[in-house]
Structure 1
Amino acid sequence: MRFAVSYSSAHFGGDPDQIVAYARHAEACGFEGLYLPEHLVLYPGAKLHDFEVPPTLPFLDPLDTLAYVAAATERLLLGTGVLLLPYRHPVVLAKQLATIDTLSKGRMRLLTIGLGTLPEEAAATGVDFRTRGRRADEAIDVLRLLWSGTEEGVSFRGEFFSFDNLVQFPKPYQSATLPIHVGGSSAAAARRAGLRGDGYFPGGALVPQERAAQWKLARSTAQESGRDPDDLEYTRWSGIDMTDERLEAFAAQGVTRIVVSATAQDPNEQYDELSRFAERFILGRS
């Protein structure tokens, strides 16, 4: 089992020194990686997870922030939970991700993509909210094509993206591609993970039977499409107060990575929360 942490500037603030201190402490505790969320815009009355949120929440750009964190850490893997893929052009995004991976010497390896739940966010970027699933599928294909392409160039013809003989360097660090995990708690997300993903990272508030059905769907979809379902990673959220029994339940479900976040507002208390978790589940089991 691997363990990672998340940091949300919307909850903890966007102070650069605090972000770096949080990341360095997580690295020192033995956590595998750091995840950041994404929201491009908010508006009065916006609801996230059925809760109305202040439109002034300071969501930092996750990729810019991860590049900043990479420069201040040595080992911590870099992740998004989730990056809103339909609202980013994949040609530009492929360059951004490969650049971060190159400069961090291969640490941009926990990319998780999602579709977004706010129609207004789609409208603000000129994307038809109803087509965002198909757009994301195409974008995943474009990312992998550009990363794996040679100096001969690659071409693509799709519903949303088309190009001929494009060459894009640098490639990901010592790799032909980057892992792409799929977030979302719908059947469509589970199928997307099975068809195109390197892993599945569902969110939402679902009962255990629904979780089990989604993971089964992701694995069966992978197998039906000729992929090895055992190659899929399975990442789940958990509370910082996770029990041994909860960890055992995760393991029984096939979970391979658990992501937690500090809950305290005071930075010193946040570090204590991460330290206590690491002492129980990371340092004591290594």
Structure 2
Amino acid sequence: MYIDALASTEEGTSYAIISRTKNLFGINQAVEVTGAMVYFLNQNTNTRIVLSELEGAYFPPSDFKVRENELWSLEVILDDGRIYLSEPEKVPVPIPNTSYKVLYKKQLLYSEAYKGFVPGHEIAATFNDPSGENNFYYWRFKSFEKLINCRVCNDYQVLRDGNCIVVNQGADDSPLKYYYTYECEEDCWRIRYSQNIKLFSDEFVNGQKVMQLPVGDILLYTNDNILVQMQQFSISQKAYGYFKTLKDLVDNNGGFNAPLPAALVGNLFNEENSEEFVREGLLSHRVG
């Protein structure tokens, strides 16, 4: 069972996603769990916020947001009666304003798909770390590329009622074009997400200014302008430890000297079965 939930200080950014593993043709795949009852629980006021299901995910009301120093937890009730709860998470204090700089690099990172280094843009963050407290940071982004063609039909097919189908060739038996492209009828975007985990702990820079810390890698998929939405999170030490373990598993998954995989355990548990292994959990955070 996988449960990923974020309770945010910004409206419109909180969610919960529930999935489970299923073996299809010898490959473990994540399958969305629908029909669940999902709640955010405010431990300070005993308030229960209902999350509504939409396209395989669960969302609170659009104006929902958490506040710093509040305690929140997550409750999930599946349609078979199983109940999953998270340990309460305290919402961290606001993080400072951050400025970003975009740097083009001809060799941004190594790509297994291309068997070599690929170009792209590095996003670097500069911010003042608050003094007198332990702070933990997590970054992710979404990029938006405007599309001209929203559909391509190959193999001599054409678009009819939303599907690519084969049609008869002309009366003169002249061949059709090998493919047809169809322009978007309205603004349309290709959305890409972060492919790696960017974390930072202020253990060695407490209270100092952090300069141009790499927090995002955007591969060069197009020469046209793209829009990037950068999100900076202030997270708890426990959440930092979870993401750090996940990052180590992803970054050190090959080679003879790779360390043994660590157990990836979140803060969720089955109320009636303490032996069941549940990954991930609730993360209360501040968006910058």
**What is the TM-score with the length of structure 1 in the denominator?**
0.28
Q: Counting strand residues as a fraction of each chain, which structure ranks higher? A: 2
Q: Counting helix residues as a fraction of each chain, which structure ranks higher? A: 1
